[in-house]
Structure 1
Amino acid sequence: MSEKQKAIFYIVCSAFFFALMNMFVKMAGDLPAIQKSFFRNFVAFFMALFLLMRSGAGFSFQKKNLPAFFGRSIFGTLGILCNFYSVDHLLLSDASILNKLSPFFAILSSYFILKEKITPIQGTAVAVAFGGALLVVKPGFAMAGVLVPSLIGVAGGLFAGVAYTLVRVLGQRGERGPFIVLFFSAFSCIVTLPFLIFDYHPMTGTQILMLLFAGLSAAGGQFTITAAYTHAPAREVSVYDYTQIVFAAALGFIFFSQIPDFWSIIGYCIIAGVAVWMFVYTARKDRSSKAGK
């Protein structure tokens, strides 16, 4: 396999793992999103800790990067909480596609955080993607029971987009991936622990098992998506991350008998189609710039 083929394989695996994570979160039943988030990040913390200890690189970081670490952790935690809430109250595929608005929000946040200019093509892509999201959210004729979790799902995509931008900032400054994950997981566990203590909902053995599986699936997703981006640039393979929608729709149908409505399917196609369009446009632009050198 070529490096790009390996990257595609890994990113499709990561999409499957993240779809599994959402499925196990939903299977955990009627528990607060904060409680689910704690156990999900608790597992990720120990996985990241194991990798750091195994590498022997230690826990050093640059103190000047603390604001970026805290920003990534705050927005990442909010993103997970919103995603888990929408997973509990929406179709699995609807919640997944709303969370996949994060790359488009990352374009907007990069403008404010990294001072990167938004090209007309990128601006158009963001606008069309939001149009697709509106078809999933259906604000004009959705009942409040669906509208509110849908808007929370969109907010989750926004927070995730900002968090990914800050991860990029930390990566550009030389911070290591496992330590970024460790810091974020520790922060999220510490922040959610008081809520867990004062509003703990007793869990059955099955619910604990589902949350452990969710944490393991999330860790699998993190490792495989990291492996993907070590074999090829994000601009070449990130579009394949949208296979998560296919996996989520299949898992939702098999385990929850969920069938998306017509407008949601059109919304999926628009958002995924914009991602493919951006992928093709970026690839052609890169080839053109290389040919001109």
Structure 2
Amino acid sequence: MVVTGLCFVGVTALVKLLAGRVPAAESAFLRYVFGLVFLLPAWRSLAALRLSKRQLGLVTLRGAAQTAGVICWFFAMTRIPIAEVTAMNYLTPVYVTILAVFVLGERLAMRRIMAIVVALGGALLILRPGFRELDPGHFAMLGTALLFSVSYLIAKIISGEMSAAVVVALLSITVTIGLFPFALNVWVTPSWGDLGILFLVACFATGGHYAMTLAFAAAPVTVTQPVTFLQLVWSVLVGALFFAEPVDPWVVMGGAIIMGAVLFITWREAVLKRRVAPAGPEAQS
């Protein structure tokens, strides 16, 4: 998870390095095109795949949500500091928890409701509406977190029906297709240097997802989730050292509050799963 955080911060730093020279939709499209190279090992599984009408609808909806979220994220990266992007991205699991109530019929205990309220309070600390002028990038990140939560919730639904490699491959393919018309509409010819940066973005993103998969396989989420807070630390350092972005204590505090709420929600889910788990042989003997 430490490597995962470093990879994802590398992604944000490289996108920031583009400095808006390549439009957000085009940058996102090229990043996913380069990312398709890493899907070649899964082509046999994809060729043999037969989706039901329901699965096709879910995959398409996920691709659409992820496409819009990626465009918003790339846009936000050109407008607001790296630390703010990272901190606001922590809202995604909070949105997932809320959406699960309406989509999956999950119930929220009062303690988890309070954790959500605390997380939203952390977001207000970051944004501080009324105390500073909000940038369109802030609203883009709010939309990004919501759209990504829709994508993750659908992934949760279909992950039990197909392999992880196929789920990731289908997402990459649908997002690449979804981004194409938006990229075409704003297309500018990128330099070789910018293409190199976007290829590195694809490499870091793929490496981050692979490292995250290894971490999830090696330890429970309650162990791996706290380490994700290091992403905010790396983001603050990278923003300050390489992009001259001042360290905003309100952003750090707001991110810490959101992450604390996410950790509580994660811990509660783990506790509830242990309670409903069937008794093992030792308990039955």
Fold equivalence (TM over 0.5): yes
2-side partners of 1:81 and 1:56: how far apart? 29
Contact preservation (8 Å) 1:19, 1:244: yes
| 2:48 is the counterpart of 1:62 | no
TM-score scaled by structure 1? 0.86
Q: Flag the 1:152–1:57 CA change in 2: closer, same or farther, 3 A.
A: closer
2-side partners of 1:23 and 1:245: how far apart? 12
Of residues 226, 230, 243, the one that matches 1:243 is: 230
1-side partners of 2:150 and 2:275: how far apart? 30
Contact preservation (8 Å) 2:240, 2:247: no
Quote the residue 2:130 is aligned against. 140
More deviation, 156-165/77-86: 77-86
**One-letter amino acid of the counterpart of residue 89, structure 1:** R
1-side partners of 2:123 and 2:79: how far apart? 17
Deviations for 1:117-162, whole angstroms, at most 9, x for unmatched residues? 1222221111111110111112212224x2x211210111111111
Quote the residue 2:140 is aligned against. 152
DSSP-derived class of the 2:67 partner: helix
1-side partners of 2:220 and 2:47: how far apart? 27
Deviations for 1:167-223, whole angstroms, at most 9, x for unmatched residues? 010112x21222222222222222222232232122222211111111111111111
Contact preservation (8 Å) 1:61, 1:175: no
What is the identity percentage for the equivalent residue pairs of Structure 1 and Structure 2? Answer: 22
Q: How does 1:1-293 map to 2 (within 5 A)?
A: 11-30=1-20, 31-48=22-39, 50-53=40-43, 58-63=47-52, 64-144=54-134, 146=135, 148-172=136-160, 174-282=161-269
2-side partners of 1:183 and 1:110: how far apart? 22
1-side partners of 2:214 and 2:47: how far apart? 21
Q: Flag the 1:234–1:58 CA change in 2: closer, same or farther, 3 A.
A: farther
Deviations for 1:227-249, whole angstroms, at most 9, x for unmatched residues? 22222333442232222111111
Off by >3 Å, runs of 4+ in structure 1: 55-59, 276-290
1-side partners of 2:258 and 2:119: how far apart? 5
Contact preservation (8 Å) 2:64, 2:178: no
Q: Flag the 1:283–1:109 CA change in 2: closer, same or farther, 3 A.
A: closer
1-side partners of 2:105 and 2:273: how far apart? 21
1-side partners of 2:95 and 2:191: how far apart? 37
Where do 5+ consecutive residues of structure 1 fail to align?
A: 1-10
Contact preservation (8 Å) 1:28, 1:206: no
**One-letter amino acid of the counterpart of residue 169, structure 2:** L
Q: Flag the 1:69–1:258 CA change in 2: closer, same or farther, 3 A.
A: same
Q: Flag the 1:112–1:45 CA change in 2: closer, same or farther, 3 A.
A: farther
Q: Flag the 1:191–1:56 CA change in 2: closer, same or farther, 3 A.
A: closer
Contact preservation (8 Å) 1:27, 1:207: no
RMSD: 2.3
2-side partners of 1:218 and 1:275: how far apart? 22
Deviations for 1:57-102, whole angstroms, at most 9, x for unmatched residues? 7441431311111121111112211111111111101001111210
DSSP-derived class of the 2:108 partner: coil
Where do 5+ consecutive residues of structure 2 fail to align?
A: none
TM-score scaled by structure 2? 0.89
